[in-house]
Each structure stands twice: as C-alpha cells, then as structure tokens.
Amino acid sequence: MGDADPKCTLEAEMDVRLGSPSMTLDLLVEGRIATLAGEAGFGWVEAIGVTGGRVVAAGPRADLDPLAGGATRRLALAPDEIVLPALRDAHIHLVEAARTVNQVDLSGAATLADGLEIIAAAHRRLPDGAWLEGTGWDVTRWGEWPTATDLDRVVAGRPAFLWSHELHQVWADSAALAAAGIDATTSDPPDGRIRRDETGQPTGMLHEGASKLVTRHAPEPTREWLATAVEAYCRGLLAYGIVAVHDLAQLVPDVDLTGGIAIIRDLADGGRLPVRVHASIRTEALGAAIEGGLRSGAPLGGSERARFGWLKIFGDGSLFSRTAFLLEPWELGDERGAPPTGPRGLPTTTAAEMAELANRAAAAGIATAIHAIGDAAVRSALDALAPVAHMTTVPNRIEHLQFVDPSDVGRFHPLGVVASVQPIHLRGDARWARAGLGDRAERIGYPWRAVEDAGGLLAFGADAPYEDVDPWPGLAMAVTRSDPSWSPVDVFGLHEAITLDMAVRAHCLHPALAAGERDRGRLAPGHQADLMVVPAAAIDEPTIPGGPLARARPRLVLEAGEVAFER
C-alpha cells in the first residue's frame, strides 16, 4: 500500500536525515528565494544552504551566513532576480518531441511566403536524397491551404512533407506524393481525406488518417540517431528551466518495450540523459512490463535518472476532431458536418476495460494515467480508478480533463487522482471549445480552479510535440486564461484562473508529488536543490498575457546544487 495523499509534505520526515546544523555548506544562495514550503504561497526566504545536493537550511540571511566556510560557493542574486524551484513537465512525448529537433519549424511563419522561405533554407542544408520534414504551419494563420506546387518551387524534387501545428494534416510535395503512389485514382482512406482540385487531382494536402499514406514512406531514423536526438532535446529543456519530465509514451505501439522506453533507459545508463525522466507504456505493453518487473517510480535500468512512470490508457479522442466523449451532444452547425464518432463522441476504451487494465497494473505496482478530454470520459476514468485508489506508491492520474462535469470535480482529491493538465492547450482550443460545446465550454471547460479548490493536485505540462514545450506561456495562461494571439483580446472562463503561486506550484512542485517524489520540487530543508534563477519581473502581478512571465528564461539552472545550465 502506498501513500494516501500525494500532497503530504516531507519536511518533518526529512529532518531526521539531515546532517548536523553546524556543518559547512557546499553552497549558499542569497537573495529572494521561493521555497514553496507549506501548502500555499511562495514561501519566500532570504537564503538557502545546500550540502550534498540537498537544501539543509532556509531562512534569514543572518542565520545562514555563519554556516558558510572558506570552501562554500556563494550565489548572490541581483536585486532584479529571484530563485524558484526548477520546472518539471508532467506530460511530454519525449521521443516524438525529439524527432522534431531537426525538422523545419514553421510555427513562426506568419504567411505561406514566410514558410516557403524557411523551407528553402532548410532544403539547402540537407544532403541530397534526404526527406525534408517539418511542422507548425496553420491554415487559420495563413488564410489558405498550401499546395504541393508551392512546395515543389522550393525543394527541387526532394520528397518533403510538413505537419500542421495540431498534427491533423500533412502538406506534401509532388515527390512525396509520387513516392506514396498517390494520384487522381487513389481513393480516400476510411479515416481521412485527400484534398483535390476541381479536376480531381490531389493538391498535396492530406487530412487526418490520409497523412499516413505519405508519412509511412519516410525513412525511419536509426536508433542511435533517435538516442542522440533525445539527448540533445533534453539538453534544450534545461534552457527553459526544466529538470524533469513525465514521458506519456510514444504513439506507436511498443509491445516488447524495445522502443522509446529502452532508448531512455539506455541513455540514462550511459550517463547521457540531461533531465530526469519517468517513462510510460501503452496498454499493449502492460504484459511485458509486468513480466519485466517494472514498477512505477522504480529505476528502469541501472541509473536513478530514468524511472518507470505509468500505464497510459486512451479514454477518448480529441476536442479538435470532435471525438472526445461527452455527457451531452456536440453542438450542431459545425461547417465540418456531424462529429465523426457520433453525437457525443465515443469512449476509445470502455470504463470496464479501463478498470480491468488499471487493476491488473495496480496489482503489479504500476500506476495508471488515463487520457480523458470529454466530461463523459473523465467520469469513466474516475470510475475506473476508484477501485485502485491509493494502491500504488505513485498516484494514478487523468490526462487533459478539458471538460469536467461539476459533480465530478470533487472526486480527484479523495481518490488521490492527479489532474495532469496542459494550460497551453487552451491557447489553440478556446475557439474549438466554444464552437463544439457552446455555452458549456466556459462553464465546464479547463476547470483548473474548481479542481484545485476541491483539493485536487494540478500537475502542469505542455504535451510537446503537440504544443511548444516552452512552459512559460502556459504558466501565464493558467493565471490569465487569455493569450495575446487571441484577437480581439479575450478571456476564457476567468472564474477558472488560478493564482500565480499555485500555477508555479503546479509546474515546479506538483509533478514531483505526482511521481511520488516528496523530496523534490521545494527548496525547503530536506529537498533536492533543483532551482533556477529567473527575472523577478516574471512574477510581477497582475500577470500580463505575453508579458514577462510568458517570456521568462532562467539565466542559471542548478540540479542537486550543481550547474545544469547557464546562459
């Protein structure tokens, strides 16, 4: 049996493990330091002392100064700087995110012409014959569907395809269409559509499941290429202040655990994993995980750095595609016609199947994470997790919970179910939420405040690569429920905004608690000294959408008291 309450703090318990208060400090940090001690607020202190990678003292400068000796390193903050505990991302797809590192990024391209310029430059850097891949274009931003002919003009016969920013369509050039054998005679697959011109010729745009017709022809990267990409990507995370992530598994099946999770384990064992990772599996790998003795929270291999995370179950579909499972029907009148999986969407795994899987997992010490976007899926997920509440040392969790019936909001806390949310999803989702759910969207949508008020533990992530991994705009979104990209300036359900201190806790502390790690995420005595130095302006209130919080970057990141990143 595990811990009843993921929120329970460790300070008292940890004191017994600390050394004598008369010890000499390895490191003394002085300035404005948020410890996140206690249950709310920033817990400001003037100084913390670090020995052996852990905070051993926190309090007034005058109390800590005498603990410093000749060998003590000192970090004195400038008046316009503060220290926060380092960030942790509670929901990422690490291998898929890493695969995007050498892909063309069109998220900054305001127009098709800008996008083509970026693609042309990438084309010139690539060796002959290599496929060009990319992401980030947006038909709403560009105001037009790009075509194969557009792409042909800048890549000179090289096969090329680029995912839209929400990954629901692929824009391919003529060489990629030819490699896939797509022409006017090719029929649409059951789960997608090939966009065509008036004469029936494919235009180069492949919607939903039709994307695979092209993407499956791109050469697969080698395992060593992927490993190197994951390593480089994780090093990049440190520049945002992120020292740990929860990997919610690859989207491709990995029945025998030789895919992404093995890459992460081997990187850790080889000393090549720049951030701490909790890596998860999908349902088809549950048998192999149980057989292999994997337990949530335990190391994957010989290194402490990569640990086993969760069994990930898909409870429903998505908001954008209107396949999320709702208690009441989707709004009619969408220009795209009826929702593809029925008026209320559909569960992708039934409540009974989810309960059975969660139970099998819990009996083996494996906690469960359920993807649930719609209010009906969230209810089923809570029902499925109720019988296995508190059975594992790492808590169970629900991912996304974008719409929650008010009667279910209070169930997270008593069941010990972590609310794993990605505030930045709201940036792109707001208009689809209003279109798809009408009045309900703001009433029951993205209920961060309600879950927190009812005692639930919010753990923030960004769901990269589906959103940009930068955690800072999401922190601002949690507080403001608004984004500068929304025009005219708009706010989505302000009653569900949370306070800045709670948003910081949800990104710096709660992911640690959600992983059963009660000695991380705070800078109170007993906790590992994972911290970042950021501009004080980041926490000025009121928070401005697109302001100093949304644009913040640390100048220094320490993990266990050692420099992990320095600008």
Footprint on this chain of Zn ion (rule: CB under 5 A): 463
Nearer Cβ to Zn ion, position 167 or 179?
Answer: 167
Q: Tell the smallest beta-carbon distance from residue 441 to Zn ion (Å).
A: 21
Nearer Cβ to Zn ion, position 10 or 87?
Answer: 87
Q: Tell the smallest beta-carbon distance from residue 355 to Zn ion (Å).
A: 22
Nearer Cβ to Zn ion, position 245 or 533?
Answer: 245
Q: Tell the smallest beta-carbon distance from residue 426 to Zn ion (Å).
A: 15
Nearer Cβ to Zn ion, position 89 or 463?
Answer: 463
With 0-12 CB in 10 A as exposed, 13-18 as middle and 19+ as buried, what is 12?
exposed
Nearer Cβ to Zn ion, position 213 or 261?
Answer: 261
Q: Tell the smallest beta-carbon distance from residue 199 to Zn ion (Å).
A: 39
Q: Tell the smallest beta-carbon distance from residue 319 to Zn ion (Å).
A: 13
CA distance 86 to 553: 11
Q: Which two tokens stand for residue 94?
A: 């690490």
Nearer Cβ to Zn ion, position 429 or 463?
Answer: 463
With 0-12 CB in 10 A as exposed, 13-18 as middle and 19+ as buried, what is 133?
buried
CA distance 19 to 403: 47
Q: Which two tokens stand for residue 187?
A: 């029929």
Q: Tell the smallest beta-carbon distance from residue 282 to Zn ion (Å).
A: 12
Q: Tell the smallest beta-carbon distance from residue 184 to Zn ion (Å).
A: 36
Q: Which two tokens stand for residue 475?
A: 């922190």
Residue type, 512: A
Which residue matches tokens 């429903």?
316
CA distance 269 to 305: 8
Residue type, 234: C
Q: Identify the CA nearest to 215 among candidates 140, 132, 282.
A: 132
CA distance 186 to 210: 11
Nearer Cβ to Zn ion, position 30 or 463?
Answer: 463
Contacts of 353 (CB under 8 A, 6+ apart): none
Helix count and strand count (H, E) for the chain? 20, 22
Task: Using DSSP bridges, classify how beta strands 242-247 and 276-282 pair: parallel, antiparallel or unpaired.
Answer: parallel
Nearer Cβ to Zn ion, position 408 or 463?
Answer: 463
Contacts of 59 (CB under 8 A, 6+ apart): 45, 46, 47
Q: Which residue is nearest to Zn ion (CB)?
A: 463
Cα 457 off chain centre by: 16
Beta strands, E only, 407-491 = 418-421, 458-460
Q: Tell the smallest beta-carbon distance from residue 93 to Zn ion (Å).
A: 6
Nearer Cβ to Zn ion, position 148 or 372?
Answer: 372
CA distance 398 to 63: 43
Nearer Cβ to Zn ion, position 254 or 463?
Answer: 463
Q: Identify the CA nearest to 323 among candidates 336, 301, 341, 348.
A: 341
Q: Tell the smallest beta-carbon distance from residue 557 to Zn ion (Å).
A: 24
Which residue matches tokens 């003009």?
153
Q: Tell the smallest beta-carbon distance from residue 370 to Zn ion (Å).
A: 12
Cis bond before residue 6 (omega within 30° of 0): no
Q: Which two tokens stand for residue 421?
A: 């949310």
CA distance 549 to 159: 40
Within 13 Å of residue 485, how many CA atoms lie on the same side as its CB?
A: 16
Beta bridge partners of 533: 83, 556
Nearer Cβ to Zn ion, position 466 or 565?
Answer: 466
Beta bridge partners of 367: 310
Q: Tell the smallest beta-carbon distance from residue 398 to Zn ion (Å).
A: 12
Q: Tell the smallest beta-carbon distance from residue 251 to Zn ion (Å).
A: 8
Contacts of 309 (CB under 8 A, 6+ apart): 246, 247, 248, 278, 279, 280, 296, 367, 369, 394, 515
Nearer Cβ to Zn ion, position 35 or 250?
Answer: 250
Q: Tell me the chain's radius of gyration from C-alpha atoms.
A: 24
Nearer Cβ to Zn ion, position 51 or 283?
Answer: 283
Nearer Cβ to Zn ion, position 83 or 98?
Answer: 98
Q: Tell the smallest beta-carbon distance from residue 248 to Zn ion (Å).
A: 5
Q: Tell the smallest beta-carbon distance from residue 420 to Zn ion (Å).
A: 9
Burial 178-190 (b: 16+ CB within 10 A, else e): ebbebeeeeebee
